[in-house]
Chains A and B, each alone.
Chain A
Amino acid sequence: MCRLAALTSAEYISPMETILALETMKEGHDGSGMGLILKGLGGEFEDLKDYPVLSGICSEAGMKTLDSYMNKIGFKLKYTWTPKTKAIKGIKGHDNYFARVYDYPDIVKDRPEPVKEGLLLNTRLALRALGELDESIIIFAFYPDILALKEVGDPLQLGEFFGLEKSSLKAKIILAQGRQNTNYAINLYACHPFFIQGYGTMTNGENTAFVPIREFLSGRNIPGYIGYNSDSEVFCHILHYTCRQLGYPLHYYKDVITPLKQEEIDRRPDHEATSFLKMSLRPLCIDGPNCVIGFTPDGTCFMVQDSKKLRPGVVGGLNGKYGLMSEECGLDSAIPGREKSTDIFPMKYDMVIIKPDAEEVTVWNQLHG
């Protein structure tokens, strides 16, 4: 089972906190990869929040291809962050890890946000396509205030490999996932967390309904609904589709992935609309076992379970800092001083929602709507 550790905080925190939580939850061999996504960046990124950050990995040749492509489009490099890597036994590593901050091309600078977001997405996809065959360019995200870092190896060792302990890299929301040892033939595009246009998720468990979901999403003709190297990538795209493309409030994500029975829906105040959703989005129903943790563009974080609650998951913390973890020991590691009796273990009808800046936790119950 993959291990999930997410923290949302009013203050900037180090990604090492989530990595240590992953380490606490570790059982047995765990070396098939770790992914980190940071949102609400601090440190040197704090003053660059309006500019898109390109996160990825390149070979030397890939770097040149990337530079020439970005120049051609008109993106101007403003700042580059690279981890100070050090050799660790067992971690093969890549040539260049980077998070590059760009200024928008002049032609889109004054255009509305959706146009800019469209350009960022298309650029990410184009770069991915350019380097996909020879794996010379791997791009995880290209979006303002988002940084992604992924590599194969044990999470704690990777933290050391990237020098995160001494790094000034900080953020207010951090998602970290350590992959279990069943996922081989490792492709970094299969590594959680996944991100698209402000929405990020990570999941544990097997998505048994993956193929129908993938076929449905692929058929939406929405740029970015590609890849699916992991059966969990669809959870992120379903979130994006539900909230951004269809404009539904966040808690309908729960209704989409784990629809209620019709007789249960009939008791909801919004039963008419929810009934339509159940039918029209039927192929997006997951069947678990899955626990999904994610965030939305405004910095809201959430945790949901499959409709039978077959996975562990716990949310807890203090005002101003909350953790969303797949196991309680991870939460103990990240937020030891909290009042444990207030920990929330979301059950099959629950969606735990934490407001931006970890201001407030609410549990939305699907039965009541």
Chain B
Amino acid sequence: MEPASRLDNNHDLAVKDFPYIIRWRDDRCKRCGKCTAVCPMYSIEPAVVVKRTLHSEGSTPEPKSTRRVETIVKQTTDIGKYCTGCGTCTLVCPNEAIEPEYNPQHKFNFHKNRGGHPYRRGGRRNDPSPSTLDKLRFSRISMLTDPALDAGRHEFRIRTYLGRILPAEELPVKAVDGRLEVTKKSGTFIPPVREIYPVMIGSMSIGALSPNMWEGLAMGITYLNEVEGMPVVMCSGEGGMPQRLLKSRFIKYFIPQIASGYFGWDEIVRTIPHMVEDPCAIEIKYGQGAKPGDGGLLMAHKVLKLISEIRGVPMGVDLPSPPTHQTKYSIEEAVAKMIQSMSMAWGFRVPVYPKISGTHTAKAVLNNLIRNPYAAALSIDGDDGGTGAAYNVSMDSMGHPIASNVRECYLDLVAQGKQNELPLIAAGGVGKRGNLAANAAALFMLGASAVSIGKYIMQAAAQCFGDEYNRCNVCNLGKCPRGITTQDPRLYRRLDPDKVAERVVEVYKSLDVELKKIFAPMGRSTELPIGMSDGLSTDDPAIAERLKIKFTC
């Protein structure tokens, strides 16, 4: 007997199974078609329905039916075209006739594995609850016993160091006639150190980001450095950088990243003799907090002319970065060599540091790096970070939060008296709920010398739609409706690099004010309050105990 499902659509999904349900208002819609044209997922489509209406005239019921053909906007129930909730339809609608609505009862994760392919996405961890960082408060306030500083009047220096710092005992200085002099002949290797703004823009590649987005960020930080005097730096992400930038004097504001695919490095190495300035630093990526142990993939359709030139690869081919460096077999050997090789490439004038995923084993890595005189820092990326593309299971379930990871690493350094020698860079969920300054300041006080941001700047500078309810999060598909993570010119031309740059500058200037507003009442202004854990408290006893900070209630 023929199954009944063909007749009653029993194996289809209902709109109710989807994470976002389109609320379309017939009475407002003028059928212009903009929403269906713009939808990156083809989740809505113009459809034709037949409507039968009954009406009766006269004193006794004499129902007559009329059949009318109408055009409507219909949400598909094809899981491959699920509505991501991005809301681009709402943006383009002239009559406020359409918007997606989050459906908390959705069963998306039960179904998004058709063809045996696990769900892959971009974005973040999809955890809307407050992070540990958001639960920390600054509660050591100088008031009447001693005057607090004035954020508006006093001078503040919000700066940090990137690079290995020699302990004072090893400095090649000696007193001559009451004055300290550097003894040139000592032969001491003095590692390169940069003074930077302590909130960096983390690694997002050209490739993952659209040319317009990357250009906007780059222009923004250049303006901050050159005009505002704020030494904000930015990491390139894997995949190289444009030759024009590499050969320019602006390269000093950038941190080229080398990762497991080594993309772009043939081009970079060939450019070294032509570079007029050294880069700020070199980051070696060993792991990413949002998807530890997972590699990267720049899909073929994103590998257009510009990307192929920068990365030194043919156009239109998939570019997989393996989960680990193929040459890496031990931290003692291969990692040390890689750090040394990168240092050597720039004559030991450029700080070189590794970036790892947050992990229980971070302390082991740290302890090895402490003993490597060429390691310039350790960047730890926590699990609340974002990613361009990853398996859902990696993003949702893998990783280690940054707060306790950076804290235990810092305290380990303190126990060895080396907390000022190897800077810790913390990343992963900084500004996740918009509290950028508070999250960054909390991380400094837990022991980070600097923090890196990614998602925050995409949201603040380019209005990225993504959120912790899996809104949009299609960075992996090249369909970014804002034009941030796509190589499709039809999409990225919608993003104005000048506007992005302007927002980057606004974000940093307001961040600077907010950091002062935190530091001033706590009486800190001259140096970043790294490790000032007595300034922090939380109303969660378990967090207080783990982070060794005060419990308040």
Contacts and interface: CB of A to CB of B under 8 A. Distances in A.
Interface stretch (B58-66, B414-422, B500-508): B414-422
A276 B524 contact: no
A272 B174 CA distance: 12
21 contacts: A205-B146, A208-B522, A210-B534, A211-B534, A216-B419, A216-B420, A220-B417, A246-B168, A246-B169, A249-B175, A269-B179, A273-B171, A273-B179, A279-B161, A279-B193, A283-B420, A287-B527, A289-B147, A307-B525, A308-B155, A310-B147
Interface in B165-197: 165-169, 171, 173-175, 178-182, 190, 193, 195
Given A209-B532, A276-B166, A279-B193, A287 B526 contact: yes
Contacts of B149: 308
Interface of A: 1, 182, 205-206, 208-212, 215-216, 218-221, 245-249, 251-252, 258-259, 261-262, 269-270, 272-274, 276-277, 279-283, 285-289, 307-308, 310, 369
Contact of A258 (B167, B171, B182, B526): B526
B525 A287 contact: yes
A206 B145 contact: yes
B182 A276 contact: yes
Contacts of B140: 208
B523 interface: yes
A308 B530 CA distance: 20
Nearest to A279: B165
B142 A206 contact: yes
B168 A215 contact: no
A249 B178 contact: yes
A259 B168 CA distance: 15
Contact of A209 (B179, B180, B414, B529): B529
A282 B420 contact: yes
Contacts of B173: 273, 276-277
B533 interface: yes
Contacts of A259: 526-527
A219 B419 contact: yes
Contacts of A249: 175, 178-180
Given A206-B142, A247-B175, A279-B161, A307 B418 contact: no
Nearest to B417: A219
Contacts, number: 124
B107 interface: no
Given A287-B523, A369-B179, A276 B171 contact: yes
Contacts of A246: 168-169
Shortest beta-carbon contacts, A-B, top 8: A219-B417, A208-B523, A273-B180, A206-B146, A285-B527, A280-B168, A212-B531, A272-B182
Interface string B350-367: 000000000000000000
Judged by DSSP, the binding face of B is loop
Nearest to A245: B169
A266 to B, nearest CB: 12
A289 B146 contact: yes
Contacts of A221: 417
B157 interface: yes
A182 B145 CA distance: 8
Given A206-B142, A219-B419, A270 B180 contact: yes
A283 B523 contact: no
Of B157, B169, B179, B530, the most chain A CB neighbours within 10 A belong to B179
A280 B165 contact: yes
Contact of A211 (B171, B418, B531): B531
A219 B531 contact: no
B419 A208 contact: no
B449 to A, nearest CB: 9
B175 A248 contact: yes
Contacts of A272: 181-182
Contacts of B525: 287, 307-308
